Amino acid sequence: MRATASRDKASGSPANKAVMTFENTSYDFGSIVTGAKVQHEFKFTNTGAAPLIIHDANSSCGCTIPQIPMEPIAPGETSSILVKYDSTGKIGSQTKTVTIQTNASPATYHVVLKGLVLTENMLKEEEPKETGE
């Protein structure tokens, strides 16, 4: 049994692993009113030679929820991680990081959702003023 485990480890060179390649690892949702909810799909492709398995994804805040694909992603296939952000109770500049654990090389990836959360009054002040008739 040990010999098999050793051979498996030896064959696990980076050339035989999954590789998670994102289109973008950061998304700026701009300015929103506190209480608004936004979401973004972080699209990626398995550019490696083995099926990609996402074990887990955790966010830096309970206000940010990642949804990961449950099935392995075959080499060459594209999928996405949906990240939902709830700005309730938040004000100011926001940066939320999602840490993704995989079987790929490297095993850990990060995506970032960021933007500015304002009160309705602050948002109105940011809007361009209309000129007179």
Helix (H) or strand (E) holding 31: strand 26-33
Q: What is the pTM of this model?
A: 0.81
Phi, psi of 53 (to 5 degrees): -120, 125
CATH class of 14-121: mainly beta
Q: Where are the domains of the chain?
A: 14-121
Query: How confident is the model at residue 132, as a pLDDT?
Result: 54
Query: How confident is the model at residue 24, as a pLDDT?
Result: 98
Region 96-121 average pLDDT: 95
Cβ contact 16:51 at 8 Å: no
Region 76-95 average pLDDT: 97
| Three-state DSSP class for residue 61 | coil
Region 31-45 average pLDDT: 97
Cβ contact 30:115 at 8 Å: yes
What DSSP state is assigned to residue 16?
G
Residue with the larger pLDDT of the pair 3 and 10: 10
Residue with the larger pLDDT of the pair 63 and 10: 63
66 cis-preceded (ω within 30 degrees of 0): no
Q: What is the mean pLDDT of the chain?
A: 87
Max CA-CA distance within the chain? 84
